[in-house]
Amino acid sequence: MNHPVTTLPSVTAVLPAAGIGSRMQADCPKQYLTIGHRSILEHAIDALLRHPRIQQVIVAISPGDQQFEQLPIAADPRVSVTIGGRQRADSVLAGLQLAGDAQWVLVHDAARPCLHADDLARLLAIMEHSKVGGILAAPVRDTMKRAEPSLGTISHTIERQELWHALTPQLFPLALLKHCLQRALDEGVTITDEASALEYCGYHPLLVSGRSDNIKVTRPEDLALAVFYLTQLDN
């Protein structure tokens, strides 16, 4: 007996890359630091382009950025560029304006170069059964403490069984994400990731378990870890 083939929609990816990454204490924005012969941003983009369902990658850069156009990957016809904004949400919204009639959008950190193909595939698979979308996330393993404000002392231990580290990519229906981001911005809500915009609007995205080595390069010590993890991926 022949089984019907499930046709999933194509996906547009957006990478907000307008930040300067001051915590890296580097001479250039962290996404342009190199691992091997490629920038962190190129590693992040390439991990997405390897999946056949991702047809377009939109990179939101700062107005004065002169580095992106010099990257070899900038010449890929699947890669587009737009000018980002002051906040992450502004940059993502700018990217969504170029997404055309895409039904789903995948948002990925420009400084997260170690995405595994199987994690990406599991996340994309939720389009078959979710109308809200979801995020890659990793369960918290360490004991978590809440601090006393301004004292530098422990207030109490937080139960970690229900805590997850939010990762990227994060995958949502384009129209829904655009609506939630715009509403959050209009109402002055601080948005630290795309899922928080949906949460603010009353939605509950799925948690898709991902690998904890899908790290974001934020501090100098993260760069050595990213080099190690990418070496393992290549092997």
pLDDT tens by residue, 151-202: 889 999 988 888 999 999 999 999 999 999 999 999 999 999 999 999 999 9
Residue 143: inside a domain: yes
Which of the four pLDDT bands, split at 50, 70 and 90, describes residue 29? confident
Residue 163: inside a domain: yes
Structural domain of residue 195, as residue ranges? Answer: 11-234
pLDDT at 3: 42
Residue 173: inside a domain: yes
Residue 53: inside a domain: yes
Residue 5: inside a domain: no
Which of the four pLDDT bands, split at 50, 70 and 90, describes residue 226? very high
Q: How many separate domains does the chain show?
A: 1
Q: What is the mean pLDDT of the chain?
A: 92
Q: Distance (Å, rounded) from C-alpha 16 to C-alpha 46?
A: 15
pLDDT at 235: 66
Residue 149: inside a domain: yes
pLDDT at 19: 80
CATH number at residue 123: 3.90.550.10
Amino acid at 66: Q
Q: Distance (Å, rounded) from C-alpha 198 to C-alpha 175?
A: 12
Residues 6+ apart with CB under 8 A from 4: none
Which of the four pLDDT bands, split at 50, 70 and 90, describes residue 234? confident
Residue 25 has pLDDT above 60, yes or no: no
Residue 27 has pLDDT above 80, yes or no: no
Q: Residue 33: phi, psi to the nearest 5?
A: -65, 150
Q: Residue 181: phi, psi to the nearest 5?
A: -65, -45
Residue 2: inside a domain: no
Residue from 85, 70, 87, 58 nearest 28 by CA:
70
Pairwise pLDDT comparison (14 vs 26), residue with the higher score: 14
User: Mind giving me the DSSP string for 17-38?
Assistant: E----GGG--SS-GGG-EETTE
The 10s digit of each residue's pLDDT in 89-119 is: 999 999 999 998 899 999 999 999 999 999 9
pLDDT at 209: 98
Q: Which two tokens stand for residue 72?
A: 């070899």
The 10s digit of each residue's pLDDT in 116-162 is: 999 999 999 999 999 999 999 999 999 999 999 888 899 999 888 88
Return left, alpha or beta for 55; rule: phi > 0 is left, psi -120 to 50 is alpha, else beta.
Answer: alpha
Is 85 in contact with 93 (CB distance < 8 Å)? yes
Q: Residue 71: phi, psi to the nearest 5?
A: -75, 140
The share of the chain scoring above pLDDT 70, in percent, equals: 93
Residue 3: inside a domain: no
pLDDT at 24: 56
Residue 20 has pLDDT above 80, yes or no: no
pLDDT at 232: 83
List the alpha helices (DSSP H) in the chain. Answer: 40-49, 88-96, 117-124, 174-186, 194-200, 220-234
Residue 1 has pLDDT above 60, yes or no: no
